[in-house]
Amino acid sequence: MAERQAGGQQPARLRPMQFLVFALVGAVGTLAHYAVLLTLVECFRQPAVMATACGALVGALLNFVLNHRLTFASQEKYRRTILRFMLIAALSLVLNALLLQLLLHWTGWDYRIAQLIVTLLVLVLNYVLSALWAFAAPR
């Protein structure tokens, strides 16, 4: 059984059910991301890489609020967790855009298929960093 930290909080660790909630919350953020992406590309004829960066920012803000409240039920102040979460989001945004660009360049696939693959890869990285760092209780 995991030892509890001061204040009754358990130490940060990876939990399968928490990952499931994280993924569901991420799906909501991803829908927002894709809505922005598709709107910018299809309606406004913007480049896919720029559009995905804008969509990722919208999705990240929505994900922060939902993860803070639902996934991790964080007792930490927003100002402490948002900085960490947004650093992860910034890393994810860069990784997302880079991987999308590479997949589009190397494969010639439709941007929507490439974006799906990139999203799955970034999801796992985001959960690990969020659970073990962004929303982890201070030691």
Q: What is the pLDDT of residues 17-44, one digit of tens each?
A: 999 999 999 899 989 999 999 999 999 9
Lowest mean pLDDT among 54-58, 63-67, 106-110: 54-58
| Largest CA-CA distance found in the chain, in angstroms, rounded | 54
pLDDT given at position 12: 74
pLDDT band at 6 (very low <50, low <70, confident <90, very high): very low
Collect all residues with Cβ–Cβ distance below 8 Å to 37 and sequence separation of at least 6: 48, 51, 52, 54, 55, 115
Cα radius of gyration rounded to whole Å, the chain: 16
Sign of dihedral through CA atoms 62, 97, 17, 130? negative
- Rounded to two decimals, the pTM is 0.71
pLDDT reading at 112 higher than 60? yes
Taking the alpha carbons at both ends of the chain, their separation in whole angstroms is 18
φ, ψ of residue 44 in degrees (nearest 5): -110, 5
Instruction: Check residue 108 and report its DSSP letter.
Output: -
pLDDT given at position 139: 73
